[in-house]
Amino acid sequence: MKSTCRPVLLCVSVLWSFWLSDGGQERKGLREYGTRSSPAWCKEGSLVLNRCEEHCRCKNGKLVNCFRVRKEFTRMDTKERKRYINAYKTVSVDARFKLDYQRLVAAHINAPDKLLHTTPVIFFPWHRWFLVQFENLLRRIDCRVTLPYWDWSRVAHHWWRGSRYKDIWNPGQHGLGGDGDGWDHCVEDGPFSKDKWNLLNVSGGGCLKRNFKYVALTGNTHHVRRTLSLPLKDFLQFEDTVRSVYHGDLHDLIRGTMWSSMTASNAPEMILHHSFLDKLWAEWQKKGQEYIRAYYPDLPSKKMPGSNYTASQWIDSNNLPGHVKVIYED
């Protein structure tokens, strides 16, 4: 941090105040400094958190190669979870952002379902694009927000549980609320309860619905590890397992709003589910350079439905449009 103060005590005071503020906190081996382009102080080559809590590298006094870090929802602290939920609710109801939120929800509704969900052509890259667009919208509220993922494989045999504080379905303001109730299956607790939040008209309006089917998920931790261990030549098997089994399972077991492609993009849990599916693809891609573009060397050159991008632009999480880089925290 460059200082022009002359009295020694004043300089020490300023430095100490900086250290105690957000500008100098040490978090898990990372220090947080200034802004992306002009850090207050950083050590050459060190890993640094910028003001948006991206993980950056210090080079020649600047923060470069900054990554958005996506965290597992049930392992986030209460403050982080509330920050994400509040940003989600704000973009979905505040007139300044609602139209952009509606455009994203509608993009999923209007995309041909067969192309998007029943073939391997663009399932992975289209949803990666969708997630980044959604994340960009939330970051207009608070640039520290990234999309959480929900690792349901850890709770595959009781994924519906909401009684514990950390559970995704916890009824508190740090959870998503639980199963629906009554003949209409409306969610009646948590921040998305029917008296606090409604679906957009483009997806039918009314309350958020859930109708849990209390059946274990196929994708337990052992099953997921086995899927991730598939070799390069079996990419189509990997992709089909993620898309047809893991993706479809949760939609079909939560049911309600999540059950139809015409409404699912308006359900808060859809983002956390697809973030985990994207993480699985990213984990598989990390196995080697040749895994990054497996199956996708000759994708259609036309733009993906609802976007201004081709599928090939959304293959590598380390090099996405808009200088976006994404990593997933285990």
pLDDT digits (tens, 9 = 90+) for 298-330: 676 789 999 999 998 999 999 999 999 999 999
pLDDT digits (tens, 9 = 90+) for 103-127: 999 999 999 998 899 888 899 999 9
How many Cα atoms are found within 13 Å in the side-chain-facing hemisphere of 204?
A: 16
Say whether pLDDT at 190 is over 80.
Answer: yes
CA atoms 89, 71, 135, 34: torsion sign: positive
Strand segments, DSSP code E, in the chain are 26-27, 30-32, 47-49, 55-59, 62-70, 180-181, 186-187, 326-328
Looking at residue 2, its pLDDT comes to: 35
Where does 93-309 sit in CATH, by number? 1.10.1280.10
**What CA–CA distance (Å, rounded) separates 275 from 270?**
8
**Both tokens of residue 166?**
């950390």
pLDDT digits (tens, 9 = 90+) for 269-306: 999 999 999 999 999 999 999 999 887 666 767 899 99
Looking at residue 40, its pLDDT comes to: 54
CA 187 from chain center: how many Å?
A: 22
pLDDT band at 18 (very low <50, low <70, confident <90, very high): very low
Mean pLDDT of 223-235: 97
Looking at residue 6, its pLDDT comes to: 34
Q: Phi/psi of residue 146, each to 5°?
A: -125, 165
Looking at residue 119, its pLDDT comes to: 82
Contacts with 104 (C-beta within 8 Å, 6 or more apart), sequence order: 130, 133, 134, 137, 265
Q: Where are the domains of the chain?
A: 10-67, 93-309
What's the mean per-residue pLDDT of the chain? 88
pLDDT digits (tens, 9 = 90+) for 235-264: 999 999 999 999 999 999 999 999 999 999
**What CA–CA distance (Å, rounded) separates 228 from 238?**
7
